[in-house]
Structure formats: structure tokens, C-alpha cells
Amino acid sequence: MNDILMDHGSGGQLTSDLIDELIVPTFKNQHLTELKDGAILPDPQNKLVFSTDSFVVDPWKFPGGDIGKLAVCGTINDLCMAGGIPKYLSCSLIVEEGFHIDDLKTILHSMQQTAKNADVSIVTGDTKVIERQKGNQIYINTAGIGILQRQTSYQYQENDVIVLSGAMGCHGASIFMAREDIHLQGELLSDCACLKEKAMKAMAYDSLRILRDPTRGGVATTCIELIEKSDFGMELYEALLPVDPNVQTLCDLLGFDPLYLACEGRMLCIMNENDAKQLCEQLKDGAKIIGKITKEHPQKLYLKTKIGATRQLHKLSGQPLPRIC
């Protein structure tokens, strides 16, 4: 393949291929190769966590948030998922000529409010403007530094369980509805949220193995990434998967699978079952145990379906497109 396709940005198989075959080999170093959400850097006093993310969401404003909130939550969440307590962010804006200043103010205010709520400061930044029609309104990159609180790893134990902190797919579904101007009865908001408090609750448990936020590619793709470098397999239980009824309706209508829709404020954690039960009670918001780690079928993810059958789940393939009927 000679050209970048949209699917290279979907968070699925082609994204993995691009990272593994091109980006990591080019920049190869000890901090990069683990490919967690953030790198852990040596520092005389503390271990630092460092992460970056770019945001190109279209439309920039969506039910439940905007690109500013998303850009701050996204990097804060990546730092938390790497076991860090986020402290400082940078903010690089790439704005298309003609973008309204009032809209930019809305976005910056939303960034500041989100950062303040998480006790994080935006301390450096950059602004570039690109010519009219050479971009899509506004793109934001944020990078962030946090202090390492908890070292996590892929060292699972058999019968560890997987906790999901809330209903899956709300962000992906709400963006799709906003983009395609679809209206359904009932309110469907993005789950875009800062995970700092929830992550800190999870980090308090000794049995916590790892934390991840299931963004692009959804819960299924993220779960595969969590086991593909380990010696274990994973099973999810369809009957236990939390899905918002509005998201389910949209999926039924358009042929999407909630397991592959992005979340922007949900956390997956792997830990022992007793701790997981306590954590779910603390987290509330529909946090649930959705599956378990197994020695059978290493590096493969299976779903036990509601009718008692079993099927393998794969990484997201291609962008979800609405089907005809």
C-alpha cells in the first residue's frame, strides 16, 4: 500500500501495522517500545510519565463535549492509564483560516475548565494557521507530563477479571450522529470525561495489573491489545457488557457493533476478582466486570454470546460505514 488510507487512523489493524512497521522501527528506543499510552522517563527525583495525542474530531462540537474538552481529557487519560498523575499539558493549535474567534474562545475555555477540574496546568503551546480549505477547521495536539504513581504491566494471573467503568460506545455513536445529522428520540451524549479520579481509585488496589482507555477501535480492539503481548487469553461475556439503549438502537439501525465504537471517558482495568468487585462499587456509573483472563487460547479474545455460543473477536477492520438497511 503506497498511500495513507482513512483506515490507517481508525485505531484498528491498519493503525497497528503502521505503528509496528513504520513508526516504532524509525524512532526505536527503550521508552517507546512498550507502546503503552505514555512513556516513563527517568528523573532524579521522580519517574515521569510523558504522553501526546492529536485531535481532529469532526464536527468539533458534539453532544457532551467539544474538541477542547476531548484534547485535554485525552492526554490526561493517557497519562493516568500509564500509571501517572497528570500535572502539565502543552497545547498546539492548528487552525484553518476563517475559523471564528468566538468558536476558538469556546474551545479554549473548555480546555481550561477541563484542565482546572483535573488540577492540571496548560503551560506551553503553539499556534499555526493553515490556508482556507487546506484543513478542517481546527486540529489540536496536546502533550502531557505526569508523576508516576503506579507501575503497571502485562503480568496477569489466571482468573483475573476485566472491569469496564461504564457503558461502551457512547462517544463513537454520538460523534457519528452529530456528523451525519441523525436524530433519535432520547439523549445520547459522548462519554468524553477525565478519568483521573477513577484511575486513582483503581491504582489503590495492589492487584491492579494494567489500565487502558478503550478509545479508537473500541473495547474489543483494546482488549486484544491488552493480551497480544502476554501469555494469556481473555473472555468477555456479552450478557454483562454495558450498552446504552440509545447506542444499541443506533447500532441496530446502522449495522455497527458497540464493541468497536470509541469511548473517550471509560477505563478498562485488569485485577483480581475480589478487588474488582469493590472497585465497581466505588466507581459506580455502571462499572462492571465484563470478562476474565484465561490460560486457554493465549493472545486471543473470545466472546461468550447471550445464546451460549462462543466466537472470536478480532481488531477493528476498516472504518464503520452505515449499511444500507
Q: List CB contacts of 249: < 8 A, sequence separation 6 or more.
A: 184
CB nearer to another protein: give 157 or 318: 318
Tell me how far, at minimum, the Cβ of 137 lies from another protein, in Å: 16
Strand-pairing partners, residue 231, are none
Residue nearer to another protein on the CB measure, 6 or 101: 6
The only residue of 56, 147, 182, 289 in contact with another protein, by rule CB under 8 A: 182
CB of 131 to another protein, least distance (A): 17
Render 60-115 in DSSP notation, one character per residue. Answer: SEETTEEHHHHHHHHHHHHHHHTTEEEEEEEEEEEEETT--HHHHHHHHHHHHHHH
| Chosen residue from 112, 207, 248, 317 binding another protein by CB under 8 A | 317
Nearest distance, CB of residue 238 and another protein, angstroms: 8
Name the residue nearer to another protein (CB basis): 127 or 310: 310
**From candidates 11, 13, 84, 192, binder to another protein by CB under 8 A:** 13
Query: Exposed (0-12), middle (13-18) or buried (19+): which is 175, by Cβ within 10 Å?
Result: buried
Nearest Cα residue to 174 out of 74, 76, 268, 66: 66
Using the rule CB under 8 A, which residue among 25, 59, 245, 255 binds another protein? 255
- Answer yes or no whether residue 7 interacts with another protein by CB under 8 A: yes
- b/e 44-56 (16+ beta carbons within 10 angstroms → b): eeeebbbbbbebe
CB of 300 to another protein, least distance (A): 8
Q: Which residues 275-314 are close enough to bind another protein by CB under 8 A?
A: 302-303, 305-312, 314
In contact, 139 and 92? CB cutoff 8 Å: no
Q: Reduced to 3 states, what is the DSSP secondary structure of residue 41? A: strand
Nearer to another protein, 127 or 305 (CB): 305
Interior CA angle at 51 toward 123 and 291, to 5°? Answer: 135
Name the amino acid, one letter, at 143: A
Query: Which element (helix H / strand E) includes 273?
Result: helix 273-283
Smallest separation (angstroms) from another protein to the CB of 103: 22
Return the amino acid letter for 298: P
In the complex with another protein, the residue whose CB is nearer, 101 or 307, is 307
State the minimum distance, in angstroms, from the CB of residue 96 to another protein.
16
In the complex, the smallest distance separating the C-beta of residue 21 from another protein, rounded to whole angstroms, is 14
Q: Which of residues 52-81 bind another protein (CB under 8 A)?
A: none
Write down the number of H helices and E strands in the chain.
9, 14
| Nearest approach, Cβ of residue 3 and another protein (Å) | 10
Non-local CB neighbours of 113 within 8 Å, separated by 6+ positions: 69
Single residue of 102, 131, 180, 206 touching another protein by CB under 8 A: 180
The answer to whether residue 322 forms part of the interface with another protein (CB under 8 A) is yes
| Residue corresponding to grid cell 479520579 | 197
Applying CB under 8 A, the span of 5-13, 38-46, 74-82, 221-229 interacting with another protein comes to 5-13
The yes or no reply on residue 324 touching another protein (CB under 8 A) is yes
User: In the structure grid, which three cell numbers stand for residue 138, read together?
Assistant: 481546527
Positions in 14-53 near another protein (CB under 8 A): 14
Take residue 27 and report the three cell numbers written for it.
524512532
Tell the smallest beta-carbon distance from residue 280 to another protein (Å). Answer: 27
Chain residues binding another protein by CB under 8 A are 1, 6-7, 12-14, 180, 182, 254-255, 257, 302-303, 305-312, 314, 317-318, 320-325
